[in-house]
Amino acid sequence: MNAHVAPDRIADDAPSASELDAALRTAAPREVIAAALDLVGRERLAVVSSFGTESAALLKVVADVDPAIPVIFLDTGHLFAETLAYRDTLIERLGLRDVRSIKPDAEALARQDADNDLWFSDPDACCRIRKVEPLARALKPFDAWINGRKRFQGGVRATMSVVEQDGGRLKFNPFANISQDEVASIYAEARLPPHPLVASGFRSVGCMPCTSRTSADEDARAGRWRGRPKTECGIHTVTSS
């Protein structure tokens, strides 16, 4: 199949998520991305990126495969200004041709978060209206999506597969097997700029109200929703439709 021509939908005889996972379990990130592109075509494949502290590594590999693969960026309204600037820097540096900045539904915000403090009273609800629901809307045209989660990040990510079934879509995790050193090597070899907040002690960056600095002896994601049992925003724990 030509990777740049999208089929109407994934063929009935296409391999299942488990079969794809078995075939790609030890594949390099570039091979996983190329396989996803070949399976569904560019028009049916999306990359979801936070443009966070490790995002440039995945986006560099994606750009090397095909810089026109659509990239979905969830602009929650609570992001650091540095993240928005970093998005623009990476778009130019990597030559990404189709980055779509998706905002929450204005009516939902007015109805559920009129005072802009839902992040404090109910962070799960805040993530739902600012990330989960906008992503579900943005993914509707796509049959598969790619993200940058890694097993070394721990938590529920520690045992994830390279390919998963996500509702009616396939989810590809090309960096599942990659190590922290390999991420650093991609940055070094491609001379990728770091996220501007890394130098200030932010090792994982999400929305501003729910992100704090971490010390060297902490897990990189310890600064996300600090002091709460919450560890994920929901886009990887809620099955997409």
Active site residues: 233
d(CA 84, CA 86): 5
- 114-143 burial: b if 16+ Cβ within 10 Å, else e: eeeebbeeebeebbbbbbbbbbbebbeebb
Q: In one letter, which amino acid is 98?
A: D
SS3 state at 102: strand
CA angle 156, 162, 168 (to 5 degrees): 85
| Tokens linked to 54 | 């490790």
Four-residue CA torsion sign, 82, 146, 148, 182: negative
Residue 112: which region, alpha, beta or left (left: phi > 0; alpha: psi -120 to 50)? Answer: alpha
